[in-house]
Structure 1
């Protein structure tokens, strides 16, 4: 994602090292357990999570805007005089809006993939 947004390779490498070389441990009653490595990326509360979420959200947002601009899908309108809204980014998720057509569903599925 970072490469597609134009980040230099050195920044991508640094971020990947931060994600892939992390270890955690659990402390219960001030007793430290063994270190372990996560197998599914960052955990909630990791200091990098908000920044990586912003990077991914920006890419998702740009792909949705492009799909609407190219006429591949349509967003929802609150009124006739307002622009279409194809997505809403929230603090802990997102809402994708589109036509109830099979073609539009495939476009959104491709964007998510």
Structure 2
């Protein structure tokens, strides 16, 4: 995952102020799922993470200030470890339980 995120960040125009990262195995994620994360960045958050209760979800947003740090992450857990190490700058966004997004990797997922 970190390789895909790194490639995506490097392809952004220099004018981008932030980015929302979603997993590719969640193809039915509605665009509005990113709205609370983008609003957090607009309110001067450096990073935002979507959570359902105490559980982190796979939607995050990073301000441009973090691009250089994010591009050196390694492995599937790199992003999560990075957010934990910078907990003071991460705004936690509570997800609507009815808007939980399924993953096509989950055996219970149905179209």
TM value normalised by structure 2: 0.23
Bigger Rg over Cα: 1
Q: Which structure is richer in relative contact order (CA contacts within 8 A, separation 6 or more)?
A: 2
TM value normalised by structure 1: 0.23
